[in-house]
Amino acid sequence: MTHLPKTKTTIISTKKHKSSHLSPSMPLPCKKQPIGHLKTQEVMIETSNPSFQPTSPISTKNPRTTLAIIDTHSRPIALLYKKGHINQAQYKAAERFYVYWRQCQGDTQMSLDLTTQKVDSSQRYIHPIEAQTNALKHLQTVKIHLGILGYKLVEQVVGYDQAFKELSPSKRKQNSLADHLRDCLDLLAVHWGYANHTSTP
C-alpha cells in the first residue's frame, strides 16, 4: 500500500485514553468474538483527510490521507476493519461517508478546521455552509446508488455507530446485514475511486 504524506493525527475519539496494562483481576480478552461483539480499544488507522483539497496538488500541507485514533468501541466500522471483516477500500469509503454525514449534521469539526481561515495559498477556505451543502449533495448521490435500505444500513452502522447485534438479535440476520453492508461499501468504494469494478471484498 502506498502511503501518502501525513501531517497530523486527527483525534476522532472523545474518550480519555485508558492504560493498556491489565491488572491480575481483569479477564484477558478472547481471541475470537462474534462479528457484532465490541470491546473498548483505541487503534491508529489511516483514513481519508477531511481537509484534503482535490483542486490543489498533494503535498505535506495537503495530504490525501491522515492518521486517526479510533475508539473501536464507539466506532463499530473501525472494529470491522481492524478484524479484517471489511477491506481498506471499503473502510475508506465508510470514513468518507462518515465525514459527509457528520458535516450534514452540522459538525463543523469534520470540515477543514473551520474555526480559522487558511492563509496558505495552496488551500482554499471552505465556509461551513458550503461544506454542508457539498456534503449533502454527495449523500444524495450515493443514496441513489445504495437505495433506501442500503443507505439506511450504512447510516446506522457508519453514521450512528450501531453494531449488528443492536440491529438484530438473530445471528443469521447479523450475517445478512454484514454481507449487505459490504456490498454497499463496495459500491461507495467504486463510486469514490477507492476500488474498481473488479475488486473483491
Residue 156 lies in a domain: yes
Residue 68 lies in a domain: no
Neighbours of 183 (CB within 10 A): 14
pLDDT for 37: 45
**What is the Cα–Cα distance from 183 to 47, expressed in whole angstroms?**
20
Residue 32 lies in a domain: no
pLDDT for 117: 40
Residues in the chain, pLDDT under 50: 1-40, 110-122, 199-201
- Measure CA 130 to chain center: 21
Residue 137 is placed in which grid cell? 449533495
pLDDT for 18: 42
Residue 107 lies in a domain: yes
Residue 65 lies in a domain: no
Q: What is the pTM of this model?
A: 0.61
Domain hosting 144: range is: 78-115+122-201
Residue 192 lies in a domain: yes
**What is the Cα–Cα distance from 192 to 92, expressed in whole angstroms?**
9
pLDDT for 120: 46
**What is the Cα–Cα distance from 93 to 101, expressed in whole angstroms?**
12
Residue 166 lies in a domain: yes
